[in-house]
């Protein structure tokens, strides 16, 4: 019987804990410094309105993997939900991602799909070959006007730096469509759990071989009490920032109450550089199957992560990549711990990717053993973009 400690009660930690416990030869303790499970996916009912609120910003589950979709639905009912994001700029309210409606509305045209494709191609900067950064990718793909209207200011506010300092891969995640499809994602399966994400994660953790303690921060002195530690927090924090701090952005919110419907949709982005916030979230629209007499919205802001903040988005700038490689080298020599998840491998990951990676990782742990060099990381951060 192995004795394991898992640090972090989000999807990564919960999925791994369940797999180890179901294997039948492990006692698993899951701890989290926060007073709740779920990590940044944590959801809870708002006391004043009864609305289910995504406490750390909106999470829409989407995946193309049937096994991942089946897995989460085994622990809760996921209702269909299509994420339709709007953007508010000086010229009006537009749909994102950029699609045929956005193009025709923005330029005052009535283009067909083929006509819009040719028109946007004519706006793109053909002198750019392989895009070296976010800004070049945008200018090559959609041209200056759409970039300035929808992407420049939003990205600068979101990431706290000029978009030319960001990798092109950030923009490559967002499609440009030449039809009227305003679904933010292209994934086959999309939804939100009827009872919220924390209920789903609670059910994943509900196994006699798993003990959960919240409000308990990890200390490296705990390592001696366990056969192995699985860590899902920030890798630089695990090593006490001994080599320096990786850079993250974090988000915070101002709460606004009033009326039964405040903006008519779940998410409106505010790309303007003269507006401090990045978007406004009205959470009742994330559960269209529910009815509420009162609504609540949250104005979201982005800032650099400080010592007391919860890190959200890894910036992965060139200096960060070098520092990450140093931490990864340190971790490879550390035979008492394995790292998995978004923060521990310093990558931007969607929920389905987190779950898929935890499932794959747990399989390797069960086959090879936690102390094997092959399972030091769920995915080697030094080898990923």
Which CATH superfamily, name and number, covers 2-41+67-72+194-245+314-383? Answer: NAD(P)-binding Rossmann-like Domain (3.40.50.720)
Q: Is the model's pLDDT at 78 over the cut of 60?
A: yes
Residue extents of the structural domains in the chain: 2-41+67-72+194-245+314-383, 98-172
Distance CA 12, CA 265 (A): 30
Catalytic residue among 18, 34, 279, 342: 279
Tokens for 338, please give them: 């394995």
**Contact between residue 356 and residue 70 where contact means Cβ atoms under 8 Å apart:** no
Radius of gyration of the chain (CA): 22
Catalytic residue among 165, 334, 350, 364: 350
Nearest to 8 by CA among 284, 341, 273, 275: 341
For the chain, give the percent of residues with pLDDT over 90: 84
Q: Is the model's pLDDT at 370 over the cut of 80?
A: no
Catalytic residue among 34, 177, 347, 376: 177
Tokens for 99, please give them: 């699609």
Q: Is the model's pLDDT at 381 over the cut of 80?
A: no
Beta bridge mates, 54: 43
Q: What pLDDT, on a 0 to 100 scale, did the predictor assign at position 371?
A: 66
- Can 300 be counted among the known catalytic residues? yes
- Can 81 be counted among the known catalytic residues? no
Confidence of residue 259 (pLDDT cuts 50, 70, 90): confident
Looking at residues 209-213, what average pLDDT do you find?
Answer: 97
Tokens for 146, please give them: 């759409």
CA angle, residues 301, 136, 150, in degrees to nearest 5: 40
- Can 147 be counted among the known catalytic residues? no
**Contact between residue 26 and residue 1 where contact means Cβ atoms under 8 Å apart:** yes
Confidence of residue 237 (pLDDT cuts 50, 70, 90): very high
Beta bridge mates, 190: 62
Catalytic residue among 300, 320, 352, 357: 300
**Contact between residue 249 and residue 302 where contact means Cβ atoms under 8 Å apart:** yes
Looking at residues 255-282, what average pLDDT do you find?
Answer: 96
């Amino acid at each position: 019987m192995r004795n394991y400690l898992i640090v972090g009660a989000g999807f990564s930690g919960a999925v791994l804990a369940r797999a180890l416990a179901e294997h039948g030869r492990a006692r698993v303790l899951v701890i989290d410094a926060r007073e709740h499970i779920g990590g940044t996916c944590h959801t809870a009912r708002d006391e004043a309105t009864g609305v289910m609120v995504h406490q750390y910003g909106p999470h829409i589950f989407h995946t193309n993997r049937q096994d991942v979709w089946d897995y989460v639905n085994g622990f809760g009912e996921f209702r269909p939900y299509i994420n339709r994001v709007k953007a508010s700029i000086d010229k009006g309210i537009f749909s994102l991602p950029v699609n045929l409606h956005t193009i025709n509305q923005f330029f005052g045209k009535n283009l067909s799909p083929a006509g819009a494709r040719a028109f946007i191609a004519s706006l793109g900067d053909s002198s750019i070959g392989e895009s070296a950064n976010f800004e070049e990718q945008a200018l090559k793909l959609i041209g200056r006007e759409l970039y300035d209207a929808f992407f420049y200011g939003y990205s600068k506010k979101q990431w706290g730096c000029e978009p030319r300092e960001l990798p092109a891969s950030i923009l490559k995640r967002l499609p440009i469509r030449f039809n009227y499809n305003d679904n933010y994602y292209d994934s086959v399966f999309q939804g939100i759990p009827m009872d919220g994400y924390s209920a789903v994660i609670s059910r994943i953790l509900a196994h006699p071989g798993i003990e959960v303690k919240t409000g308990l921060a990890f200390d490296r002195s705990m390592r001696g009490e366990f056969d192995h530690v699985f860590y899902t927090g920030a890798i630089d924090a695990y090593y006490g920032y001994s080599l320096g701090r990786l850079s993250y952005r974090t988000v915070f919110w101002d709460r606004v109450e009033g009326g039964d419907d405040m903006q008519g949709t779940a998410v409106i982005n505010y790309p303007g550089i003269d507006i401090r916030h990045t978007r406004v979230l009205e959470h009742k629209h994330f559960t269209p199957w529910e009815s509420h007499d009162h609504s609540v919205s949250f104005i979201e802001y982005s800032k650099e992560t400080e010592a007391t903040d919860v890190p959200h988005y890894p910036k992965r700038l060139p200096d960060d990549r070098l520092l990450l490689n140093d931490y990864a080298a340190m971790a490879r020599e550390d035979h008492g711990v394995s790292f998995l998840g978004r923060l521990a491998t310093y990558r931007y990951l969607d929920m389905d990717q987190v779950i898929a990676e935890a499932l794959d990782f747990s399989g390797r742990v069960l086959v090879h053993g936690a102390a094997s060099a092959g399972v030091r990381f769920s995915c080697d951060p030094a080898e990923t973009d």
